[in-house]
């Protein structure tokens, strides 16, 4: 595979917030069928990277480029990126009072179908699909009548993200700390959900602080994002090494 065949390609990405540079030249290539883990200390730009890929306007991209399936992402709106198959499991899922989960998912599924020139999904078919995907992440149906994320516990919110991912079937899913706040059983459920969705055509970027998740979702690559740059990349053993030695190890290595 040549570089340009990669599903996601990020080159020298620099991003600022309020004139403060957060990302200082990120390079990352994600190919179809791959799972990448991004680790790194708090406040070093992991979520910033995820949000910029999704198209958040809270950040200013000062340099670099991102292509997705050969398209320049900066030419696409947030919803167009979603239509192209980018999904972000939010670190902090947003509560939307008054909008029911069912209505929300119906709008999302049909908006994406419309983007691809398809008619809305028949209501019955959609309900069946929702039912099936809900089982996949083992969430109870009492959640579906409620407003989006409203009053959900931290863990329920994360499961709900995976449920939405399962329903929307993205080609690139970025999971931003989806494991944080999950109990051991829920962690397994979420990981299984992800594993069941893995195919040779889709890819995952998993942002996490814990090697534990990577026991379940086995990554092909592990990257360390530190002070706005990917300072180290390796295979899954890098995660184990990090767990053992901590970030001091990276910092010392960089200082040399």
Partner 1 sequence: MQASTEQTMETMTEVPTLKEKLCSVYEQNRSLISAGDLPFITELREKAFTHFKKLGFPHQGLEAWKGTSLDKVLSHNFGLSLTPLAEEVDAEEIFKCEIPNFETLLVTQLNGWFVHNGQPIRQFPNGMIIGSLANAMKKFPEIFEAHYGKYAKTENNGLNALNTAFAIDGFFIYVPDNVHVEDVVQMVNVVSIPQDILIQTRNLVVLGKNSSLKLVQCDDTIDHMHSFINTVSEVVIGENSSLDHYKLQNKDDKSTLINNISFHLTDNSNLTTSAITLNGGLVRNNINVLIDGEYCTANVNGLYLMDKNQHIDNHVFVDHIKPNSTSNELFKGILDDSSTGVFNGHVMVRKDSQHTLAYQKNRNVLLTDKAAMDSRPFLEIYADDVKCSHGATIGQLDESAIFYMRQRGIPADEARALLLYAFAGEVINQIRIPVLAERINEMVRKRLRGELSTCDDCALHCKYQNNAPCVIDLSNIQLT
Ligand X SMILES: Nc1ncnc2c1ncn2[C@@H]1O[C@H](COP(=O)(O)OP(=O)(O)OP(=O)(O)O)[C@@H](O)[C@H]1O
Residues that bind ligand X in the complex, under the rule CB under 6 A: 17-18, 22, 40, 42-48, 58, 91
Q: C-beta of 50: minimal distance to partner 1 in Å?
A: 10
Q: Is 66 in the site for partner 1 (CB under 8 A)?
A: no
Interface residue with partner 1, options 8, 15, 26, 55 (CB under 8 A): 55
Q: C-beta of 102: minimal distance to partner 1 in Å?
A: 13
In the complex with ligand X, the residue whose CB is nearer, 40 or 219, is 40
CA 23 – CA 40 distance, rounded (Å): 13
Q: Choosing among Mg ion, ligand X, partner 1, none, which partner's interface includes residue 74 (Cβ < 5 to 8 Å by kind)?
A: none
Of the candidates 20, 26, 21, 17, which has an alpha carbon nearest to the alpha carbon of residue 229?
A: 26
Instruction: Give the per-residue SS3 of the chain.
Output: CCHHHCCEEEEEEEEEECCEEEEEEEEEEECCCCEEEEECCCCCCHHHHHHHHHCCCCCEEEEEEEEECCEEHHHCCHHHHHHHCEEEECCCCCCEEEEEHHHHHHHHHHHHHHHCCCCCCCHHHHHHHHHHHHHHCCCCHHHCCCEECCCCCHHHHHHHHHHHHHHHCCCEEEEECCCCCCCHHHHHHHHHHHHHHCCCCCEEEEECCCHHHHHHCCCCEEEEEECCEEEEEECCHHHHHHHHHHHHHHHHHHHC
Q: Choosing among Mg ion, partner 1, ligand X, none, which partner's interface includes residue 65 (Cβ < 5 to 8 Å by kind)?
A: none
Interface residue with partner 1, options 65, 79, 125, 243 (CB under 8 A): 79
Q: C-beta of 191: minimal distance to ligand X in Å?
A: 19
Q: Choosing among Mg ion, partner 1, ligand X, none, which partner's interface includes residue 78 (Cβ < 5 to 8 Å by kind)?
A: partner 1
Q: Is 47 in the site for Mg ion (CB under 5 A)?
A: yes
Q: Mutual orientation of helices 184-197 and 154-168 as an angle, nearest 10°? A: 10
Interface residue with partner 1, options 111, 118, 132, 254 (CB under 8 A): 111
Q: Is 61 in the site for partner 1 (CB under 8 A)?
A: no
In this structure, the dihedral spanned by the alpha carbons of residues 186, 215, 207 and 252, taken in order and rounded to 10 degrees, is 140
Encoded one letter per residue, x for contact with partner 1 by CB under 8 A and - for no contact, window 81-100 reads xxx---xx-x--xxxxxxx-
Q: Choosing among ligand X, partner 1, Mg ion, none, which partner's interface includes residue 118 (Cβ < 5 to 8 Å by kind)?
A: none
Q: Choosing among Mg ion, partner 1, ligand X, none, which partner's interface includes residue 44 (Cβ < 5 to 8 Å by kind)?
A: ligand X
Q: Choosing among ligand X, Mg ion, partner 1, none, which partner's interface includes residue 22 (Cβ < 5 to 8 Å by kind)?
A: ligand X
In the complex with ligand X, the residue whose CB is nearer, 44 or 202, is 44
Q: Choosing among ligand X, partner 1, Mg ion, none, which partner's interface includes residue 17 (Cβ < 5 to 8 Å by kind)?
A: ligand X
Cα distance from N-terminal residue to C-terminal residue, the chain: 34
Q: Which residues pair with 230 in a beta bridge?
A: 225
CA 81 – CA 107 distance, rounded (Å): 16
Which positions touch partner 1 (CB under 8 A)?
54-57, 77-79, 81-83, 87-88, 90, 93-99, 103-104, 107-109, 111-112, 115, 147, 164, 168
């Amino acid at each position: 595979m040549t570089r340009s065949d990669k599903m996601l390609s990020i080159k020298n990405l620099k991003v600022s917030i309020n004139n403060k540079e957060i990302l200082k030249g990120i390079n990352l290539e994600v190919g179809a069928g791959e799972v990448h883990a991004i680790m790194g200390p708090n406040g070093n730009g992991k979520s910033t990277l995820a949000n910029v890929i999704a198209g958040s306007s809270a950040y200013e991209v000062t340099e670099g480029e991102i292509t997705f399936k050969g398209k320049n992402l900066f030419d696409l709106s947030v919803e167009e990126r979603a239509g192209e198959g980018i999904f972000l499991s939010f670190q902090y899922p947003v509560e939307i009072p008054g909008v029911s989960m069912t209505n929300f998912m119906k709008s999302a599924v049909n908006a994406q179908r419309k983007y691809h020139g398809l008619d809305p999904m028949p209501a019955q078919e959609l309900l069946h699909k929702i039912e099936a995907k809900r089982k996949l992440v083992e969430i109870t149906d009492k959640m579906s009548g409620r407003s989006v994320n409203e009053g959900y516990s931290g863990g329920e919110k994360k499961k709900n993200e995976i449920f939405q991912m399962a329903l929307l079937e993205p080609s690139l899913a970025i999971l931003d700390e989806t494991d944080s706040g999950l109990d051991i059983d829920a962690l397994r459920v979420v990981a299984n959900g992800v594993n069941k969705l893995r195919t040779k055509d889709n890819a995952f970027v998993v942002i996490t602080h814990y090697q534990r998740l990577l026991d379940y979702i086995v990554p092909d690559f592990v990257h360390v994002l530190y002070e706005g740059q990917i300072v180290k990349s390796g295979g899954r053993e890098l995660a184990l090494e990090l767990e053992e030695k901590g970030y001091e190890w990276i910092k010392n290595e960089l200082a040399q």
